[in-house]
Chain A
Amino acid sequence: MTAPRRDGCNDWRMTRRRVASQAGRMMPIPADALDGLAEFERQGGLTRKNLLERGAGLVLMAGAASALGPRAILESAAAQQAASPNGAILVSLYLDGGNDFINTFIPITDPQYRQRRKRIAIPADQILPVSGSSEFGWHPSMSGIAGLYDQGKVAVLPAVDYAQPDQSHFNSQGYWQRGVVGPTLDRTGWLGRTLDLIGTRNNPLQGVSVSWGLDPTLIARKAPIGTVYEPSYFGLGIPEVWDGKGFTKLYREAARGSHSRARQAVSQAYNNAFRMVDMLKPLQGDPNKLPPTPVEYPDSYLGKGMRNAARILGAGLGTRVLSLSRGGFDTHDDQPDEHTELLKDVSDSVTAFQADIQARGLADRVVVMIWSEFGRRPDDNDGNGTDHGAGGGLMLVGNRVNGGIRSEFPGLTSLDSDDNLKVTTEFRTVYASLLESWMGVEASKILPKMDSRRLPLIR
């Protein structure tokens, strides 16, 4: 009897493809068919109040970041604002299934590491050094992110989770997505609520789930959120129908008016879809040709997703939050090869993205947050894998990130009662710190019952 091969109990997120042949039958819809859009464009998808708030936020950040005098700070803030009126951008990258952070950012000097991981410890000669630290090393697949770390662009936060961690994917994932620990009837995600606060009602691309289905982290109360994995093919057309303006008007009229909640949700989805088609028009065309990216992205679901995220940001559509995910991290068995592949995909995709947005002049505005619902147990199992653990880890990548190790690693000797890593930092503290120092919003308005602890994550 052989044990069944477990791809991981959470490895369910599929790679969805839109058949390229469908692109041919999409017909563009004339811009003037979309009533109300011209006015929306004038506003740039942002309210006056938000513009003012962002401006102030940028001055503060510039002040904190440099030794420039106040006049130069004001000028740079104004220039930044003129070049990029939409402010700071947060990209959430979810490693679905529970990433083994212990083998990602490896505690090389911890004597327990090789004890507890007899089967899957990374050989010492393969581990990449962490500049400025003798205690940790990078997984060999992480060369891209290690390089960014050396440039001071990566903050690493080990042992981030929540108190009394629950080892159900379903629960933990929900807590991280909602920014609320414990059961709640509120379905909204913490980034969705952020957009409720800083966004508008008429920009479906202020928050983009770069996926085929909406990421629950982005579920908002009122802010429309776009779900678009491949912007090149986003269109609404009917074959053998030439008058796009005519059917668009018919559809938009049919979508008007108040009915049941379900019917309203349908109308909203249609209205935002029509609006998105128009906004994404500059990105239509063969994604392999347009626009050229300065670096090669991995030819993977995540690689393409990151590339598409950069393209959406490059189009200047007022996007503030993007989310992506990579499945397969539930490495219950045969971990070494799988994990190597997974981390390589993540590291290469993020590194390519970073170079891409740098080339687009956007890198000072973007922070990527890489997270997972939990870590894995320090002891490996007899299937050459690891079971659900606690105290996973988080990484932040970006020009403005305060690079370094930013949370305490508790060590592998003294574990919690379930033989898991002790949690030293609550994930909501990371969220709150990012909300306040990066997104410029008060954390308590988004995260219920939030304490005052914050981390210096942004320079």
Chain B
Amino acid sequence: MPRTTKADLEAERLLWRAGFGPAPGEAKRLGRLGRRRAVEQLLAPKGRALGGRPARIDGGPLDPVNAYGHDVLWWLDRAARTRHPLAERMTLNWHDHFATSNEKVGDVKLMMRQYWLLRNYGLGSFRALTKRILRDGAMQMFLDLAGSEKGSPNENFARELFELFTLGVNNGYTERDIREAARALTGFTFDYDTKRFGFDPDRHDRGVKRVFGKRGRFTPEDIIDLAINHPKHAPYLCEKLWHYFTPLPVPPRTLKQMVSTYRRSGTEIRPVLRIILTHPSLYADLTSPHQVKPPVVYAAGMLRRTNTRIADESWIHLLDEMGQRPFHPPNVAGWDQDDAWLTPATISARFDAASMLVQKRVKDGSISASQSPQRAIAAARKATGDPQISKRTALAMQRYAVASVKGRTDDWEVKHYFPERQRVLRHVLLAGPDAQVC
């Protein structure tokens, strides 16, 4: 087995935190660049966005618009095949931040349009991104912007804009600010017959509003600017971004640095990510990881590690049961991260996911009784992308590799139990406790 260096471990950590884990050989390649250049490559990806072959279900391509759950498979497939890991991961992060659920929107096309918005603009200016989100059909449906009109403004979007998208709960605004902002956010329309979103000046409240102590005939875009120019915005957003990459607290000096970089750049996201991804915190405790892999990262990661393309609809239900179904966040606050991912039920779904990648891979009768425990372990590691494991897992695997075939000497036993050993060893490498964290 090739020796694992610190650079490999760092690259592996980076690919998990800022992407969906390494494909075989990817960590080694990235590790050779060194931390800084590796991060630059992620920040400015070049070439084709996707590698490998696209998912196929029942011999046909995915049909995200019409087939139940294929929207989820479509997202997972892109994550599993991405060659632009950070851009793809940030799309998932923004989907959590600007959480919009098709449970309410009820239109996959609108949801996919929002996906492309987040994917195409997710590394640029946050101000521009938020202004696009304001005009995004799925969001307008989800938070009742479309149809909100002068005289009876709907407060939903205004509230979440402050509470979740730009400032944080109870962080520098009042109920009155929400009500006034909601007035400024009136005028958006949706025509059910033509399926068109629009803006009707006659339905927009052109009166003077008072938001954050400022008075004016604010337009919807003005409200976004007011929120983003609010002194509490930059620290809130920078800290939130930080926590997408590490559960460790952000050092006050780093936060200050991020905030001033963010402001100086005119709300650019890339420079903030650069600070986070090159920060020593991200590479702390390389052999004792802090982050629980979010389900989409975990699932895409196991597909990448095993070079597998999606060919089974079970992934829809598995992701659902793991607690993260793209296009269906649990609420407008997105998904609870870290150990909130883990319950006996979600861990059993994570366990089942590995079964998908183990079954029908090793046929009975395909391994002879001469295979040593060491060879069995080496083969399992190779088949699963040679993941990092703890000493305890390594020891438990060695014991299992010996005990599982002990006394299995009859022909039928050899035929079944040597392959069974291989299935179980792969399974624990894919879903064991070590595989859940990064």
Chain A positions within 8 Å of B, measured between CB atoms, are 1-4, 6-14, 16-19, 22, 25, 166-171, 183, 187, 204, 209, 212-214, 224-229, 234-243, 246-247, 249-251, 253-257, 259-263, 265-270, 272-273, 276-277, 332, 381-382
Spot the interface stretch: B27-35, B39-47, B205-213, B395-403.
B395-403
A22 to B427, CA, bound (A): 17
Other A-B contacts than A16-B320, A254-B434, A260-B285, 14 sampled, CB-CB below 8 A, are A4-B192, A6-B104, A7-B104, A12-B332, A19-B317, A170-B164, A238-B427, A243-B404, A253-B399, A260-B288, A262-B290, A268-B342, A269-B344, A276-B344
The closest CB in chain B to the CB of A272 belongs to B344
Contact in complex: B342, A238 (CB < 8 Å): no
B294 CB → nearest A CB, Å: 12
Contacts of A2 in B (CB 8 A): 147, 190-192
B281 CB → nearest A CB, Å: 14
B175 CB → nearest A CB, Å: 8
Contacts of B420 in A (CB 8 A): 240-243
A267 to B392, CA, bound (A): 12
The closest CB in chain A to the CB of B156 belongs to A9
Known: A238-B355, A247-B427. A170 touches B437 (CB 8 A): no
Most B CB contacts (10 A, CB to CB) among A18, A166, A168, A254 go to A254
B317 CB contact (under 8 Å) in A17, A249, A251? A17
The closest CB in chain A to the CB of B291 belongs to A262
Spot the interface stretch: B79-87, B138-146, B214-222, B269-277.
B138-146
B111 within 8 A of A: no
Contact in complex: B333, A259 (CB < 8 Å): no
Known: A22-B352, A238-B423. A263 touches B320 (CB 8 A): no
A169 to B338, CA, bound (A): 23
Contact in complex: A228, B344 (CB < 8 Å): yes
Contacts of A214 in B (CB 8 A): 340, 343, 345
Contacts of B329 in A (CB 8 A): 12
Known: A12-B103, A260-B289. A239 touches B355 (CB 8 A): yes
A63 CB → nearest B CB, Å: 39
A273 to B352, CA, bound (A): 12
B103 CB contact (under 8 Å) in A14, A25, A277? A14
Contact in complex: A12, B330 (CB < 8 Å): yes
Contacts of A7 in B (CB 8 A): 103-104, 106
Contact in complex: B144, A213 (CB < 8 Å): no
B21 CB → nearest A CB, Å: 16
Known: A4-B141, A170-B169. A263 touches B331 (CB 8 A): no
Contact in complex: B344, A266 (CB < 8 Å): no
Contact in complex: A265, B342 (CB < 8 Å): yes
A169 to B330, CA, bound (A): 13
Contact in complex: B290, A261 (CB < 8 Å): yes
21 residue pairs bridging A and B, Cβ less than 8 Å apart: A1-B147, A6-B144, A8-B104, A9-B156, A9-B332, A12-B104, A183-B170, A209-B343, A229-B345, A238-B354, A239-B358, A243-B417, A251-B433, A254-B428, A256-B392, A260-B290, A265-B292, A266-B342, A269-B343, A332-B144, A382-B152
Q: Find residues 135-172 in chain B having any chain A CB closer than 8 Å to their own CB.
A: 140-144, 146-147, 152, 154, 156, 159, 163-164, 169-170
Contact in complex: A269, B432 (CB < 8 Å): no
Contact in complex: B338, A262 (CB < 8 Å): yes
Contact in complex: B437, A263 (CB < 8 Å): yes
A187 to B433, CA, bound (A): 24
A10 to B416, CA, bound (A): 51
B292 CB contact (under 8 Å) in A1, A22, A259, A262? A262
Known: A22-B314, A22-B317. A273 touches B247 (CB 8 A): no
Contact in complex: B347, A273 (CB < 8 Å): yes
The closest CB in chain A to the CB of B395 belongs to A253
Contacts of A22 in B (CB 8 A): 314, 317, 352
A444 to B174, CA, bound (A): 31
B384 within 8 A of A: no
A17 to B346, CA, bound (A): 13
Contacts of A246 in B (CB 8 A): 400, 403-404, 424
B225 within 8 A of A: no
B63 within 8 A of A: no
B185 CB → nearest A CB, Å: 14
Contact in complex: A255, B104 (CB < 8 Å): no
Contact in complex: B359, A168 (CB < 8 Å): no
B169 CB → nearest A CB, Å: 7
Contact in complex: A1, B200 (CB < 8 Å): yes
A412 CB → nearest B CB, Å: 20
A8 to B358, CA, bound (A): 42
B321 within 8 A of A: yes
Contacts of B19 in A (CB 8 A): none
Contact in complex: A262, B247 (CB < 8 Å): yes
B262 within 8 A of A: no
Known: A213-B346, A247-B428. A9 touches B104 (CB 8 A): yes
Contact in complex: A19, B314 (CB < 8 Å): yes
Contact in complex: A170, B288 (CB < 8 Å): no
Known: A246-B424, A260-B289, A260-B437. A1 touches B191 (CB 8 A): yes
Contacts of A240 in B (CB 8 A): 358-360, 362, 364, 419-420, 423
Contact in complex: A269, B342 (CB < 8 Å): yes
A212 to B345, CA, bound (A): 7
Contacts of B427 in A (CB 8 A): 238, 241, 247
A272 to B347, CA, bound (A): 10
Contacts of A167 in B (CB 8 A): 175
B388 within 8 A of A: no
B348 CB contact (under 8 Å) in A234, A262, A267? A234
Contact in complex: A262, B423 (CB < 8 Å): no
Contact in complex: A170, B331 (CB < 8 Å): yes
A227 to B344, CA, bound (A): 6
B91 within 8 A of A: no
Contacts of B321 in A (CB 8 A): 16, 18, 212
B267 within 8 A of A: no
Contact in complex: A261, B191 (CB < 8 Å): no
The closest CB in chain B to the CB of A174 belongs to B169
Q: Find residues 402-438 in chain B having any chain A CB closer than 8 Å to their own CB.
A: 403-404, 416-417, 419-420, 423-424, 427-428, 432-434, 436-437
B424 CB contact (under 8 Å) in A4, A247, A269? A247
A10 CB contact (under 8 Å) in B190, B331, B362? B331
